Chains A and B, each alone.
Chain A
Amino acid sequence: DAGITQSPRHKVTETGTPVTLRCHQTENHRYMYWYRQDPGHGLRLIHYSYGVKDTDKGEVSDGYSVSRSKTEDFLLTLESATSSQTSVYFCAISDSELYAYNEQFFGPGTRLTVL
């Protein structure tokens, strides 16, 4: 398995509080992604990073921010959590410099509940 960890694995928080999820990789892959998974919607891209300090928005970025100060860490912050952000969050990494196709390796997920 690719070396990807996510922390915390489970979190319950209250509406209006800030929350930060961490993704850590040991593979030195260039690209990192944050997705959310909701029933009926599959995985939807929140933000992604193509290098240290280089990030861009995905399709559902409102209410989320990210930072990548080191190759190995990609942080997702919910600035003021809302109940609609209750979801399972997955981090993924890839390095298409190695292959022509873009295999993404996924972390184990973080289940976030916003009350």
Chain B
Amino acid sequence: GEDVEQSLFLSVREGDSSVINCTYTDSSSTYLYWYKQEPGAGLQLLTYIFSNMDMKQDQRLTVLLNKKDKHLSLRIADTQTGDSAIYFCAAEAGRAAGNKLTFGGGTRVLVKP
């Protein structure tokens, strides 16, 4: 089955850019997602990218997809203290597999003032 890997922790200064990396194994994944989890809450979708795209920009967020290397990254520009959270990468199996998502282990981002 699909395997999704992320680094565990990232520390960044307020105002700097953050880059969170993710690798996945199933080249047939149709969509890839970034979710954010704040303390004590469920996950919320931040952004997603379709597998035939290599970049998507959404305000302060930039997603880069290298399909050849099965590598996904999320860049957060001008990181704020409110960006401190756990970020999950997820890969979608496609409708034939019930649209299931496989999540990475999550990257905890700590933004220091």
Contacts and interface: CB of A to CB of B under 8 A. Distances in A.
Interface of A: 31, 33, 35, 40-45, 48, 50, 56, 58-59, 90, 92, 94, 96, 100-104, 106-109
Contacts of A106: 42-44
Interface of B: 1, 4, 6, 8, 31, 33, 40-45, 48, 50, 88, 92, 95, 98-106
A90 B48 CA distance: 21
A42 B45 CA distance: 15
B8 to A, nearest CB: 8
The 5 residue pairs across chains A and B that have the minimum distance between CB atoms: A106-B42, A42-B105, A102-B99, A42-B103, A43-B103
A58 B101 CA distance: 10
Contacts of A33: 100
B99 A40 contact: no
Contact of A101 (B8, B44, B48, B88): B48
Contacts of A102: 31, 92, 99, 101
A35 B31 CA distance: 19
Contacts of B44: 106
Given A31-B98, A45-B100, A40 B105 contact: yes
Given A40-B105, A90-B42, A106-B44, 18 more contacts: A33-B100, A40-B8, A41-B105, A42-B88, A42-B105, A43-B43, A44-B103, A45-B101, A45-B102, A48-B100, A50-B98, A56-B98, A101-B33, A102-B92, A106-B42, A106-B43, A107-B42, A109-B42
